Amino acid sequence: MVEALPVATVCRILAGLVNSPNKRKAAAEQVSELTTGRLSVYLRCLTQLEADGVDTVSSQALAERFHLNAAQIRKDLAYFGEFGVRGVGYYVKDLKLHLRKILGLDRKLRVAVMGAGNLGMALADYPGFRREGFEIVAMFDTADAKIGDHSRGGVPIHDIRDTRKVLKREKVDIVVLAVPAESAQHVLDQVAGSGVKAVLNFSPGTLLVPEGIKMKSVDLTVSLEGLSFFLAQGDPSS
């Protein structure tokens, strides 16, 4: 089984952090994260189909091309409405627009990265974010040599002591934590005081999440250990 590397799935994770508008909150609370994850996968597939010039697609054709489950596709989509046309299937462009709206991606989302180290810089300059509607508007660090500078892509680096002021001024929707474990909790608390409601955490360890914050964590070490366990079991067919 092939699993996507964490950086390649960051956009999907960010999509799951997007705050739903008030009129959709009740429905959003009933939808599992597994479901929203699958919706993001469907959106990626539809984007590829649109790029290939495909106008319509059935759930079966979608499943066969991208190695998905046709029944699961129909079930997931039916929860949010009737999108298919009998005898035709789904109109790719229309369904893509519907999924972007459901996932809260029908607007530009402003993102800030806490930490301007190697990981923070890589995330800030990752071109896939802008294509998917996520705009990196600010970075933060403690190093005097970095404060006032920019990433290679032109994202300004601010003093981390100005976190709350800058996050409010830039109207940031989502914060990405890419700081050392020993400072992660303090930085998260500063973020919480800024009004930001969604955080994607790359820092290792367990954090106490302030009330009102939705956080998802990506721990690369845990992922590698999971693969190590798989390898340690040997070949199941032998």
For the chain, domains (ranges, CATH) are: 19-102 (1.10.10.10), 109-223 (3.40.50.720)
* Residues whose CB is less than 8 angstroms from the CB of residue 174 and which lie 6 or more positions away in sequence, other chains included: 14, 17, 18, 109, 110, 111, 112, 134, 196, 198, 199, 200
Tell me the pLDDT tens digit for each residue of 167-221: 999 999 999 999 999 999 999 999 998 989 999 999 988 899 999 999 999 888 8
Q: What percent of the chain has pLDDT over 70?
A: 85
From 46, 49, 36, select the one nearest 9 (Cα to Cα): 36
pLDDT at 16: 62
Judge whether 154 and 129 are in contact, CB under 8 Å: no
From 88, 72, 86, 3, select the one nearest 35 (Cα to Cα): 72
* Whole-angstrom distance, CA of residue 228 vs CA of residue 233: 9
pLDDT at 49 over 90: yes
Tell me the pLDDT tens digit for each residue of 107-166: 889 999 999 999 999 999 998 888 888 999 999 999 999 999 999 999 999 999 999 999
* Whole-angstrom distance, CA of residue 228 vs CA of residue 234: 10
Q: The pTM is what?
A: 0.74
Q: What is the mean pLDDT of the chain?
A: 86
Terminus-to-terminus CA distance in the chain, angstroms?
18
Give the up-direction half-sphere exposure of residue 155: CA atoms within 13 A in the CB hemisphere.
Answer: 26
